[in-house]
């Protein structure tokens, strides 16, 4: 049994020293907290100077805390950086709201997940050794997890947060619980044991991919599919070259596949979450075009003042209901006029994409992704220098 009323003032000195409780609504070290029969955990989404997720485990009267920049992942292959920060009082598990600008951690805090947890093995020894293993029982995070301290240390100890390969694990694109389309749907957080991960194509070796035939035709379907799996990108160490390759910027947003059957439009995230009600102006613009039997592939983004797409800004705009600033950058047309075009060379799909959107207004929530003509080595240098998200080849 864990007694949340027990506190360790010595472990909260750093917490107290960083805050002015006359200016911030965060609980002080003296704040009372309910007694818990089980050890609690909380994950708070924290839109400070940089968006991150605060991961907190109750232990010996405080909340041991880590800042996780990319948030937890359900894929055991993902090793998410978790920076150890100062302990927080147990009462902090209930905190959400705004920390004033100018105060430590200034920004908005949301309760993202909570529940109880149980240590696996001797947790106190694990803290000293730098390897914690524990079971979580939350709304979004369940099953067995690990925190492993790394040898590369900065001002604060760096750990890695990892999921065990158990019943709650998921692979590849399906593992992203931070996806704004699926983060608040706890039903999507569990995956049956033995289910297959999403297919991620391997990059071809020996230069550019071979087009099947410029004489290829699409495959006529009797009805437009109700759902469609996106083709996923594969991370590589260097740009593949110039001959036979085309390049586009990688956007920092939410991948959306839009099913367009005349004025009937549905927008679906790569994890199968229906975003139609969240992407209002994009849905209206696609419906106005009255595309016949089409699936449109693109990225939902919001651009910062420098014209760069920004996922954190996208989340912020959507939380505030500022949907007018949403844009869909369209880069592919897997289906059109009832034909399955996925087996055609990309160049042919691009021709049909241009034709389908020939009447696209110069301004509005829809735009076609630009193909960039440049030497690949020069291009990747420019992308890095401008701090852009990356390249798609």
Nearest alpha-carbon partner for 84 in 182, 184, 153: 153
**Catalytically annotated residue among 229, 250, 288, 290:** 250
List the alpha helices (DSSP H) in the chain.
Answer: 13-17, 123-129, 280-289, 311-319, 346-356, 376-385
Q: How many CA atoms lie within 13 A of 124 on its CB side?
A: 1
Q: Which of 82, 80, 95 is nearest to 21 (CA)?
A: 95
For residue 110, the tally of other CB atoms under 10 A from its CB is: 13
Cα atoms in the 13 Å half-sphere on the side-chain side of 137: 7
Name the token pair of 352: 């049909």
Would residue 250 show up in a list of annotated catalytic residues for this protein?
yes
- Tokens 């158990």, located at residue: 166
Residue of 392, 253, 389, 259 whose CA lies nearest to 326? 253
Phi-psi map region of 130: left, alpha, beta (phi>0 left; psi -120 to 50 alpha):
left
| Positions marked catalytic | 250
């Amino acid at each position: 049994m864990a007694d949340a009323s027990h506190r360790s003032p010595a472990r909260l000195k750093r917490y107290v020293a960083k805050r002015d409780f006359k200016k911030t609504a965060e609980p002080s070290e003296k704040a009372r907290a309910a007694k818990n029969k089980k050890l609690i955990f909380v994950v708070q989404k924290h839109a400070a100077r940089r968006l991150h997720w605060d991961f907190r485990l109750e232990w010996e009267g405080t909340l041991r805390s880590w800042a996780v920049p990319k948030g937890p992942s359900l894929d055991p292959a993902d090793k998410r950086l978790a920076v150890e920060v100062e302990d927080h009082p147990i009462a902090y598990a209930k905190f959400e709201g705004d920390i004033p600008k100018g105060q430590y951690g200034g920004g908005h805090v949301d309760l993202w997940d909570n529940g109880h947890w149980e240590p696996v093995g001797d947790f106190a020894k694990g803290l000293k050794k730098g390897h914690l293993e524990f079971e979580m029982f939350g709304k979004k995070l369940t099953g067995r997890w690990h925190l492993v301290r790394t040898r590369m240390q900065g001002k604060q100890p760096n750990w890695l947060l990892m999921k065990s390969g158990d019943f709650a694990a998921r692979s590849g694109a399906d593992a992203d619980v931070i996806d704004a389309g699926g983060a608040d749907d706890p039903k999507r957080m569990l995956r049956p044991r033995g289910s297959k991960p999403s297919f991620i194509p391997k990059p071809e070796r020996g230069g550019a991919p071979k087009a099947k035939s410029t004489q290829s035709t699409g495959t006529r379907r009797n009805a437009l599919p109700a759902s469609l799996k996106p083709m996923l990108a594969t991370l590589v160490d260097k740009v593949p070259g110039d001959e036979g390759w085309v390049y586009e910027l990688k956007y920092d947003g939410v991948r959306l596949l839009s099913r367009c059957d005349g004025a009937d439009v549905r927008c679906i995230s790569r994890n199968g979450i229906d975003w139609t009600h969240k992407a209002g102006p994009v849905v209206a613009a696609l419906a106005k075009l009255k595309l016949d039997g089409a699936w449109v592939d693109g990225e939902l983004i919001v651009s910062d003042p420098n014209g760069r797409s920004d996922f954190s800004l996208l989340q912020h705009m959507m939380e505030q209901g500022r949907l007018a600033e949403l844009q869909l950058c369209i880069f592919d047309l897997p289906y059109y006029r009832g034909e399955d075009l996925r087996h055609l060379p990309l160049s042919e799909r691009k021709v049909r994409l241009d034709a389908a959107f020939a009447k696209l207004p110069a301004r509005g929530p829809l735009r076609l992704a630009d193909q960039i003509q440049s030497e690949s080595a020069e291009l990747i240098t420019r992308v890095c220098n401008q701090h852009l998200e990356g390249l798609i080849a």
